[in-house]
Amino acid sequence: MKVLCLTDFPVNPPDRWIWNHLPGVNDQVDFLWAKTNDRSGRLGKFVTRYPPFWGLARRALRQAAMQEYDLIIAWESKTGIPFALLRRLSGQTRTPFAILTFTPGEVARAFFPLVRYALGAVNHVTVLTLAEINTYHRLFSLSESKVSLCLLGTYDLYPAGPPKARGDVASPYVHASGRSARDYGTLVEAARGLPTRVVIHGRGYNFADLTLPSNVTIGELAPRDKYHQLVRDAVAEVVPLYDTPSPVGSSQIVFAMMMGKAIIATRTSSTVDYIEHGKTGLFVEPGDAAGLHMAIQRLLDHPDEVIAMGRAARRRFEEQHTFEAFAFRAHEIMMQVVQNARR
C-alpha cells in the first residue's frame, strides 16, 4: 500500500522508521515531519508549541490532494490532531487516516471540544493501555471500535542480553526515575527504615516539600549513559505513580524489562498491561507506603526472586516490547484500517 506518514522527528531515506523492521513488507511510504523543543505550559503548548505541526498539517493536506494514498498516519496526538482538524474543516477526508499512539493528555481541557471535533476526521487510533479505550470514549465520544491497543515497544540496545550489574557497587540500592505523575512522596515514606539506598531522579517539582531520610538520594534526570548505569546496577526499578487516566510510566517499565530488571510499580491503569504480578515484578496499591516498603524488602530478602523476575521481564520484553513487535502490530492495524475503508 501507499502511505503518507507524519512524524515529529526527521525520517530521511534510506531510513523508513517502522518499515525498517518489517521484512517482506513493500509499502511505498512518503514522510513529512516537523519538530519543536518548546516546553511551555499545557495551555501554552497549543499556542507556542503547535505552530510547526499546523504547518506540517497544511503541507500534508496539500500533498494528499496531489497524490493518491491508501492511508495517512500520524505519530502521536501533537502531529495527528492538527492534521485531523484541518482535514475535517477542508472536507478532504476520503483517504483513511490513523493516529499511532494517541496521547491527548498534554492538551489542555479547554481544547477538548476541538479535539472531539477533529476526531470526526480520524478513522482509527492506537493507544498504549486498555483503560484509555474507555477514557477516550468518555472524554471525546470516540467509538471503541476505532481504538486498538498497541503496547509500547523500544529498540533493543542489548540484543546479546542485558549487561550484568557491577559487582563492586558500594551498597545496594533501588532506583526510580521520571517526572510525569510520579508519587515520590510515597516512595520516600516507604524508604524509611529500609536497609538499602533509594536513588531517585526527576525534576525539582517532583521533590517539593519532601523531607528525605538519610538513605534517599535525589537528583535531576540523568543523561542517557548514566541512566543506563543506574538501572543496570540497581537491585530493582521502582515506578511509583499517581493513578491518572493518562498513560505514564510505561517507558521506564519497558526500559527496565529490556535491562532484565525486577520492577515494583504502583497498580494503575498505566501499568497493569505491562507487568505480571509475581512474575516480572510486584504491584502495590496507590499511596500505600507500607505496601511499597514491604515489596522492596521482599526483593532485598529474596535475591533469587529478583533474578527470576528480571529474567522473566527480559523474556516479556523480547516477546512483546521490542520495536519490531510494535512495528508488526502497528502495521497489522494499518492494514485493517485500509481494508475497513474499502468495504
Tens-digit pLDDT profile for residues 214-230: 999 999 999 999 999 99
The CATH class that applies to domain 173-321 reads alpha beta
Confidence (pLDDT) at 36: 66
Q: Check pLDDT > 60 for residue 46.
A: no
Q: Residues 72-95: what's their mean pLDDT? A: 96
Amino acid 105: pLDDT: 74
Confidence (pLDDT) at 165: 81
pLDDT at residue 136, as a whole number = 95
Selected residue with higher pLDDT from 71 and 103: 71
pLDDT at 242: 96
pLDDT for res 107: 73
By mean pLDDT, which of 31-45, 140-154, 297-311 is the weakest?
A: 31-45
Q: What is the DSSP secondary-structure string of 228-262?
A: HHHHHHSS-EEE-B---SS--SHHHHHHHHHTT--
Percent of the chain with pLDDT over 90: 86
Convert the pLDDT of each residue in 127-141 to its tens digit: 999 999 999 999 999
| 221 within 8 A of 252, measured Cβ to Cβ | no
What band does 170 get if pLDDT is binned at 50, 70 and 90?
Answer: low
Query: Which pLDDT value is given to residue 48?
Result: 56
As to burial, measured by CB atoms within 10 angstroms (0-12 exposed, 13-18 middle, 19+ buried), residue 109 is exposed
- Average pLDDT score over the chain: 93
191-204 pLDDT, tens per residue? 999 999 999 999 99
Give the pTM: 0.92
Amino acid (1-letter code) at residue 312: A
pLDDT at 246 over 90: no
Cβ-based burial of 23 (10 A; exposed 0-12, middle 13-18, buried ≥19): exposed
pLDDT at 26 over 60: yes
Do the domains 173-321 and 2-151+323-342 match in fold? yes
Residue 280 pLDDT more than 90? yes
* Least confident segment among 146-150, 152-156, 232-236, 244-248: 244-248
In this prediction, residue 191 carries a pLDDT of 98
Note the pLDDT of residue 167: 62
3 state SS of 38? coil
Cα dihedral 77, 80, 82, 87 in deg (nearest 10): -150
Residue 35: what pLDDT? 74
343: pLDDT strictly greater than 90? no
Residue ranges per structural domain of the chain? 2-151+323-342, 173-321
Length of the chain: 343
Share of the chain above pLDDT 70, in %: 94
182 or 245: whose pLDDT is higher? 182
What CA–CA distances, in Å, run from 132 to 55, 102, 244, 305, 318? 28, 9, 11, 32, 24
Phi and psi of 282, rounded to 5°? -130, 145
- 2-151+323-342: CATH topology is Rossmann fold (3.40.50)
